Amino acid sequence: MKIFVCLKQVPDTETKIKIAADGSGIDTAGIKWVMNPYDEHAVEEAVKFKEKNAGAQVFAITSGPKARAVEALRTALAMGADEAIVINSPENLDAYSTAKALAQAITAEGGAHLIFAGKLSIDANQSSVPQMVAEFLNIPHTSVVSKTEYTAENVTVERDVEGGAKEVVQMVNPSLIAANKGLNMPRYASLPGIMKAKKKVIKEVEFSSLGIAGTEQKVKYAGFSLPPEKPAVKLLTGDAASQVSQLITALRDEAKVL
Amino acid sequence: MSKVLVFTEFQNGNLKRSSQELLQFAATTGKPVVALALGSQAKTGAAQLAHHGAQEVLLCADTAYDAYNPELFSVAAAEAIQQAGASLVLASASSSGKDLFPRVAAKIGAGVVSDGTEITVSGDDVKVKKPMYAGKCFATAQFENAATKIVLMRANQLPVAAADTSKTATITEHAFTKPSLKTLIKEVVKGASEKLDLTEANVVVSGGRGLKEAANFSMLNDLASVLGATVGASRAVVDAGWVGHSMQVGQTGKTVAPTLYIAVGISGAIQHLAGMSGSKVIVAINNDPNAPIFQKATYGIVGDAFEIVPKLTEEFKKILAH
Ligand SMILES: Cc1cc2nc3c(=O)[nH]c(=O)nc-3n(C[C@H](O)[C@H](O)[C@H](O)COP(=O)(O)OP(=O)(O)OC[C@H]3O[C@@H](n4cnc5c(N)ncnc54)[C@H](O)[C@@H]3O)c2cc1C
């Protein structure tokens, strides 16, 4: 039983973003890269599933520039994934062609019983790849999942929606689950796990070998810019009562938000 | 001329503000505006679609569409786009919008841009400004190789004028193909709050570890109910289990863009700032004058939250009463 986890290597959440001089992207010099935080939950869920289901095998898969993307796969292997596949892809592929590549590679491996992914990658901010992978594979999906329950044929999940509401969704497997933060507590990779992961061979697939046409790139990002500088804070003065009344006046008469 | 299709959403029989924004924006493009409305609320609410700028309404009042189901909805949306001959599709970056349209895009070979904060449409050219890295920077997305362009706009980014009740639309009832479903919605469990979601709220009051313990969130709830605000939180208090993770604001929480954001006892870590610095006016209340939150705040109160917040609630009560 093959379980796939789609994941991505992204800039660490601490990163201060700088823009490349020509505005074509961010300046990646000196960036520390980490596994996308939501994908950690996806890996954890896959490994937990494997621990409870004898015969399940976890494949971590990513699409991205190989040198950097394999690091996320090493982390997944150290957390307990069995195999790893990197689709060596150009920088800044869009969600559509990324999803197509992932779906094709998963099919080439014989398909999946379950696929896990994070609900969003914190760099492109798109929340698109998991849903697209599901569509390309013609399987059901649920995104923003914070609870799961498995049987042989089905998985029942809870999906977080607006205002703290939850949808309880049952899917026939094979299915795809895109993880939200509350799903589980990702484990830390153990030292033996890290040592073992270093020795594993990561299977490489060239994006160019997948026959995905240039026309399957649908969206391009340009004109990167930083948010406008905020004027310096206005610190209110005096005792609590006076600070509060200054604030109310400012919100009403100056900022005009009341 | 190619049309704009707007995917509309209702809540308690009323057209959501985010859908009003999209319809009114669509009307400014000069292209014919088609509203897609699914579910039984859509029938009673169909007139509202016209009042905000729809010229045509594609309506399917079948109760099968009352709860969101990605398989069912993606087939309906794809058929509607084809039937309308829409080259531009607008939807809200709501939980269903964000879940649905990537799937639709994959189905029909369209491009999709999620979480737009600005959009310009000129003829066939569509440009969307959107936050990347949770708002640490912005980029402009452009489409290529996409006969259909799908844009998911964040709520509260476009102006809304009053409804024009004199306007009418052609309403076509339509049954879309129902695929055999592998996804079953078993139950929709209502949230604790009937308030607007953080991502749609116009006022957000957020608390952090400075509140000392879970019970003290009641102080924020009081302030929020006076302001009609939605309550958010830092990750530190979500991880501590004081509040649910649906309330987390930040890089791994929700990105919010209210008119007013009040941060109480939140230090302002980079991951928190990422999620809220797009707010128009930011008020920080913190007893540490060196807290990084003050670098992003519009107004700062250096002081004890336990003294300031109740006073603030009282004062707001007074002025908002008249
Ligand atoms: C991968 C990753 C992702 C993350 N994602 C997020 C995210 O999405 N959102 C997020 O918020 N964080 C996120 N964080 C965590 C972030 O780094 C901070 O740890 C967190 O934001 C701190 O929360 P806090 O400000 O409530 O707590 P603290 O940093 O403990 O700050 C508490 C503040 O309260 C003040 N205070 C104390 N007592 C009082 C009082 N009586 N009155 C007034 N003020 C008082 C203190 O001066 C202090 O500034 C993430 C971290 C990582 C590693």
Rounded mean pLDDT of A94-120?
A: 98
Q: How much distance in Å is there from the Cα of A115 to the middle of ligand 1?
A: 33
CATH number, domain with residue B231: 3.40.50.1220
User: What pLDDT score was predicted for residue A162?
Assistant: 87
Check residue B322 and give its pLDDT.
Answer: 60
Mean pLDDT over A57-80 rounds to 98
Which of B119, B153, B173 is the last residue before a domain boundary? B173
Domain check: are B62 and B137 in the same one? yes
> How many CB pairs below 8 A link A and B?
274
Facing A131 at nearest CB: one of B99, B109, B194: B99
Ligand 1 proximity of B265 Cβ (cutoff 6 Å): yes
Q: Is residue B39 part of a domain?
A: yes
Q: Does B321 touch chain A (CB under 8 A)?
A: no
Q: What pLDDT does residue A31 have? A: 96
B304 C-beta closer than 6 A to ligand 1: yes
* Domain definitions of chain A by residue range: 2-216, 230-258
Same domain assignment for residues B167 and B250: no
The predicted-structure confidence for A204-237, as pLDDT tens digits, reads as follows 999 999 999 999 999 999 999 999 888 999 999 9
Under DSSP, is residue B60 helix (H, G, I), strand (E, B) or coil?
strand
DSSP class per residue in B137-196: EEEEEEE-S-SSEEEEEPTT-S--PPP-TT---EEEE-----PPPSEEEEEEEPPS--SP
Helix, strand, coil share of chain B (percent; to 5):
35, 30, 35
In angstroms, the CA B149 to CA B114 distance is 11
Pairing of strands B137-143, A219-225: antiparallel
Last residue of a domain, one of B130, B152, B173: B173
Residues B286, B158 share a domain = no
Residue B21 is predicted with a pLDDT of: 98
pLDDT band for position B193 (cuts 50, 70, 90): low
CATH code of domain A2-216: 3.40.50.620
Per-residue pLDDT tens for B302-321? 999 999 999 999 999 998 87
Residue-wise pLDDT tens digits, A17-40: 999 999 999 999 999 999 999 999
What is the pLDDT, as a whole number, of residue A68?
96
- Whole-model pTM: value is 0.95
Instruction: For chain B, give the mean pLDDT.
Output: 95
B144 and B282 co-located in one domain: no
Contact yes or no for B199 and A168 at CB 8 A: no
Cβ–Cβ below 8 Å for A13 and B274: yes
Please check whether residues B113 and B247 belong to one and the same domain. Answer: no
| CA neighbor of B285 nearest in space, from B202, B206, B203, B201 | B206
What's B93's domain CATH number?
Answer: 3.40.50.620
Which of B13-22, B190-199, B258-267 shows the lowest mean pLDDT across its residues? B190-199
Residue A64 has pLDDT above 80, yes or no: yes
How many structural domains does chain B have? Answer: 2
> Per residue in A152-198, pLDDT tens?
999 999 999 988 899 999 999 999 999 999 999 999 999 999 999 99
* Tokens (6 digits) for B69: 């189901």
Quote the domain boundaries for residue B297.
203-321
B240-275 pLDDT per residue, tens: 999 999 999 999 999 999 999 999 999 999 999 999
